[in-house]
A = this chain, B = another copy of it.
Amino acid sequence: MDSLTKIEDLGKPRVVIVGGGFAGLELARELRHAPVQVVLIDRQNFHAFQPLLYQVATAGLAADSIVSPFRKILDEQENFYFRMAEVQSVDTEQHLLETSIGLLRYDYLVLATGATSNFFGDAQMQQHAITLKSVADAIELRNTVLANFEQALQLGDMEQLNSLLDFVIVGGGPTGVEIAGALSELRTHVFPRDYRELDFKQMDIHLIQSGPDLLKGMSKEASEKSLEYLKQFGVQVWLNRRVKSYDGYTVTLNTGEKLITRTLIWAAGVTGSPISGLRPESLLPSNRYQVDEYNQVAGYDNIFAIGDIAAMRSEAYPDGHPMVAQPALQQGKLLAHNITQHLAGRPRQPFRYDDKGSMATIGRNHAVADIKLFGREYHLGGLLAWLAWSIVHVLSLVSFRNRLAVFLNWSWSYLSYDKGLRSIIGGARISQPREQPHEEKAIT
């Protein structure tokens, strides 16, 4: 396009990166000194810090505190170009990307499209459940929770009331555990002051986990501690249960048990977000692209995949690396190095995942952390893990501005036991009950 042909680095090879999550953004930044033209394409004009989406959803942080516009992040990177567009497909023969704003030629194509919620084919679940994969999701969930309580004030029927006050979270991974914990903090410290007319003994938070342990993938210690903390905070944890169906009102478990809620939060699994045009053989059943240890997509010379969308299978990781920030960042960084090496005719370096451990926070002063240092693994809990989690997350934010905003917000919330972002700005999902008519009472 015109705006890309004007530039001085026209003769340089063009690296097109699809998706500006952890992997794509890291790659773009690490290519800053490389003799290439970097074009980043994303549907949004900002990078979102996904690990803190749950705090936006629970009124703890403003969306603006965890997002950074790409143009701002890469302001001073001479070889960087951003285009806000949707990718439709790729023509691997012609080296062309079809997008919502036209065709784009590439020399290297890097897929960093991430993952999306996996409903395992349950269309009814997909229609009624709320997910937490984007900033828009997080804002919708926050607004829905708040609107539920506003609506609950008008109801007398107990089942109707409970359908609004109760929350069901499906999936006991970090996201599920963190939302459950954050909702329980709202129940204890915030909502009773806001809604004095409601009885918060009626508000139940259910967390459903298909297996016997929470935080699968973390240590036994972390699983047990997180369960203990959640129980301490009054979250009802249902282990070894699966959701059979949800119609927007009644949740039916595989054991036959039923729960009533108008708000089911789906944190139960993800699947890759591939693009069309690549040969089907390159895509694994998990919807992730099969890549070699240089993140090269099987069957292509100049197409790479990094982050959640890439499955680099090895003995240690037979299904690919965990779909979290660390491998994404490390792959983005190494690919930048390898592209530079390749252009210079020097050998590339294979990827080795340096797992630094993982963490999840449950609530005020309560977190769990498995930290890997010098070949040993340490299991932390309680206040120490919570401090570690807080520090790591503040420092991992992309801009100094966001770090400051989050730090101030957290300090404030910690001291005041408050969560300040309780304005309903934007839409909420007001689901009507399925089985019984919603009965509004006269308020005279």
- From 165 to 206 in chain A, residues with beta carbon under 8 angstroms from any chain B beta carbon are 193-195, 197-198
Interface assignment of A379: CB less than 8 Å from any CB of chain B: no
Q: Which of B46, B135, B197 contacts A3 (CB 8 A)?
A: B197
Assess whether B194 is in contact with A75, with CB atoms less than 8 Å apart: yes
Cβ of A382 within 8 Å of any chain B Cβ, yes or no, is no
Segment at the B interface, from A22-30, A63-71, A362-370:
A63-71
The size of the chain A interface, using a CB distance under 8 A, is 60
Name the contact of A103 in the complex, choosing from B4, B46, B71, B442 (C-beta under 8 A). Answer: B442
What string of 1s and 0s marks CB contacts (under 8 Å) between A78-116 and chain B?
A: 000101100000000000100101111100000000000
Inter-chain contact A1/B442, CB cutoff 8 Å: yes
Q: B71–A421 contact, CB under 8 A?
A: no
| Residue with the greatest number of chain B CB neighbours at <10 A, chosen from A2, A83, A195, A443 | A443
Q: Which residues of B contact A426 (CB under 8 A)?
A: 136, 139, 426
A444 contacts B by Cβ under 8 Å: yes
A127 in contact (CB, < 8 A): no
Q: Is the CB of A63 within 8 A of B103?
A: no
A63 to B425, Cβ gap below 8 A?
A: yes
Q: Smallest CB–CB gap between A92 and chain B, Å?
A: 15
**A444 and B150 contact, CB distance less than 8 A:** no
- B45 A96 Cβ-Cβ under 8 A: no
- Note all chain B residues with C-beta closer than 8 A to A418: 72
A102 to B430, CA, bound (A): 18
Copy tally for this chain in the complex stands at 2
Chain B residues with CB under 8 A of A424: 44-46, 84
Asked whether A443 lies within 8 Å of B139 as measured between CB atoms, the reply is no
Interface membership of A423, Cβ < 8 A? yes
Contact with B along A1-16 (1 / 0, CB 8 A): 1111011000000000
Decide: A425 near B103, CB < 8 A? Known: A45-B150, A146-B45, A442-B1: no
For residue A67, which residues in chain B have a CB less than 8 angstroms away from its CB? 423, 425
Partner among B4, B75, B81, B135 whose Cβ is within 8 Å of the Cβ of A193: B75
Report the minimum CB–CB distance from A107 to chain B (whole Å).
Answer: 12
Give the Cβ gap from A81 to chain B, nearest Cβ, in Å: 8
Which B residues touch A75, using CB under 8 A? 193-194
A35 within 8 A of B: no
Q: How far is the CA of A412 from the CA of B153 in the complex (A)?
A: 41
**A42 to chain B: closest CB distance in Å?**
11
| Bound form: Cα–Cα A146–B408 in Å | 28
Tell me which residues across on chain B come within 8 A of A1, comparing CB atoms: 153-154, 441-444
Within 8 Å by CB of A96, from B7, B154, B198, B444, lies: B444
Chain B residues contacting A45 (CB-CB under 8 Å) are 146, 150, 422-424
Is A444 in contact with B412, judged by CB distance below 8 angstroms?
no
Chain B residues with Cβ below 8 Å from A2 are 156, 441
Q: Interface readout for A123-145 with B: 1 if CB under 8 Å, 0 if not?
A: 00000000000011001000000
**How close is A56's CB to chain B, nearest CB, in angstroms?**
10
| Interface core residue of A72, A104, A135, A136 (most chain B CB under 10 Å) | A72
Residue in chain B with minimal CB distance to A69: B422
Q: How far is the CB of A188 from chain B (nearest CB, A)?
A: 15
Task: Judge if A227 is at the interface, Cβ distance under 8 Å.
Answer: no
In the complex, which residues of chain B have a beta carbon less than 8 angstroms from the beta carbon of A68? 423
Q: Is A62 on the interface with B (CB-CB < 8 A)?
A: yes
Report Cα–Cα, A54/B35, bound state, in Å. Answer: 42
Q: What residue of chain B has the Cβ atom nearest to residue A100's Cβ?
A: B440
Q: How many whole Å from A232's CB to the nearest CB in chain B?
A: 26
Complex Cα distance A67/B423, Å?
A: 7
**Residue in A1, A68, A198, A441 with the greatest tally of chain B CB atoms within 10 Å:** A1
Those 6 A-B pairs whose CB atoms lie nearest each other, nearest first: A1-B443, A3-B197, A46-B423, A62-B64, A71-B194, A102-B443
> Can you spell out 6 A-B residue pairs with CB atoms less than 8 angstroms apart?
A62-B65, A63-B423, A64-B423, A64-B425, A83-B153, A408-B408
